[in-house]
Amino acid sequence: MRLQQLVAVLPALAFAPFGMSAIVFWVYLSASVLFVIGLIKIFGELSQQHGVDKIMPFGRMFFAIPMAVFGSEHFTVTANIAALVPRWIPAHTFWVYLVGLGFICAAISISILVKARLAAALVGMTMLIFVLAMDIPGTLQNPHNRFVWALALRQLAFSGGALAFAMSPWSTGPGQPRTKPRKTLAAIPRFFVGIPSLFYGVEHLLHPEYVPGIPLQKLTPEWIPGRIVLSYFVGVILILAGGCLLVNKRTRMAATILGLTILLAALWIYLPMLLAAPKDVVALNYFFDTLLFCGAILLLANAMNKETAVTRT
């Protein structure tokens, strides 16, 4: 029996009475394990942070949990993901398994700060490869489809967050040497997050009826209170923060506010959607997708030096 079949069949048999599919089971299991690991590690760091900076260690957890979740899906919906791999790349299933395993290992590594710099760098480069090999060709085929652009820029933002963490001194554990990247390299994650933020912000102002954060092809349920107002609010913050990141003005504050805003959207919009349909794979993916975006932004914020991330004259 193939690994894919084994992974899918065992939990499906065990949790069939609860109506929980194998995909959903592994999503919740991955998220729960990384949540516990992340909290244990974070509790020891909170005393070193003050004020709003106490949210910074959670950025690492918000990034790691979705990475593990999406990594698990590489083993439960392998065929669907393999269909997204470009035809000119051989051995589609092998790469799906390899990337899935890599995402899970990277999530654990980033959570416990063991080889976290290497793990984050590999995740950042993997996401960038996705943009270059799959997303850009897709946008060129459908240049007028705004949702295709949103997907491509989403991967770019994820890459920016991972690369920012890899370049930051916070990606090393206690007692390990901490080095700072060159200013030119440090600017790359800012652009990788700033450009999608500007695009998303404009999309929210033009189409406030769609889900906030990453404007994908899903309408916000009408039963969500203040959905249109929140979408406009998120759009304005995305534009302002994206502009600050691109011109290198008050970057730490801008990224922190943006990260907290996306977290607000996740709790206000996506969590109620998930609670309304806890076994819905789509609702799960939207929630963790937005949480990953939040984590990427907070990783970028934490990578900004407090002394230099202010208005420059």
Q: How high is the pLDDT of residue 95?
A: 94
Q: How high is the pLDDT of residue 208?
A: 95
Q: How high is the pLDDT of residue 153?
A: 95
Q: How high is the pLDDT of residue 308?
A: 44
Q: How high is the pLDDT of residue 150?
A: 94
- Helix-helix angle 116-130:92-112, to 10 degrees: 140
Q: How high is the pLDDT of residue 68?
A: 96
Q: How high is the pLDDT of residue 59?
A: 92
User: Per residue in 63-86, pLDDT tens?
Assistant: 999 999 999 999 999 999 999 888
**pTM confidence score:** 0.89
Point out the residues of the chain with pLDDT beneath 70: 1-19, 171-183, 305-313
Q: How high is the pLDDT of residue 180?
A: 58
| Sign of the C-alpha dihedral computed for residues 237, 240, 245 and 251 taken in this order | negative
Q: How high is the pLDDT of residue 13?
A: 47
